[in-house]
Amino acid sequence: MRLNIFFITLIGLVIISISLGAINLRQMDKETREFINTTMLGLFVDWNNSEFLTYTSNEFREKLTNEELSKINLVFQRLGNLLNYHGAQGGVSRNNYWDISVRYKVQASFQNGQFSATITLIKQQEKWTIDRFEYQYSFFPNRRDEGSLKVVLSPR
CATH of the domain at 117: 3.10.450.100
Q: Is residue 146 part of a domain?
A: no
- 11-35 residue pLDDT tens: 655 555 544 444 477 888 899 999 9
Distance CA 51, CA 5 (A): 57
Q: Is residue 115 part of a domain?
A: yes
- 86-99 residue pLDDT tens: 989 998 866 655 56
Terminal C-alpha separation, the chain: 99
- Number of domains present in the structure of the chain: 1
Helix (H, G, I), strand (E, B) or coil at 40: helix
Q: Is residue 133 part of a domain?
A: yes
Q: Is residue 63 part of a domain?
A: yes
Domain span at residue 30 reads 2-140
What are 109's strand-pairing partners?
84, 114
pTM above 0.85, yes or no: no
Distance CA 136, CA 50 (A): 20
Distance CA 53, CA 45 (A): 16
Q: Is residue 150 part of a domain?
A: no
**Closest by Cα among 104, 112, 69, 103 to 86:** 104
- Rounded to 5°, the CA angle 121-104-35 comes to 60
Q: Is residue 154 part of a domain?
A: no
Q: Is residue 17 part of a domain?
A: yes
Per-residue pLDDT of the chain (156 residues; tens, 9 = 90+): 666 776 666 665 555 554 444 447 788 889 999 999 999 999 999 999 999 999 999 999 999 999 999 999 999 999 999 999 998 999 886 665 556 789 999 999 999 999 999 999 988 888 999 999 999 999 987 555 555 544 455 555
Q: Are 115 and 75 in contact (CB under 8 A)?
A: yes
Q: HSE on the CB side for 151, CA within 13 Å?
A: 3
Helix (H, G, I), strand (E, B) or coil at 66: helix
Q: Are 108 and 115 in contact (CB under 8 A)?
A: yes
Q: Is residue 15 part of a domain?
A: yes
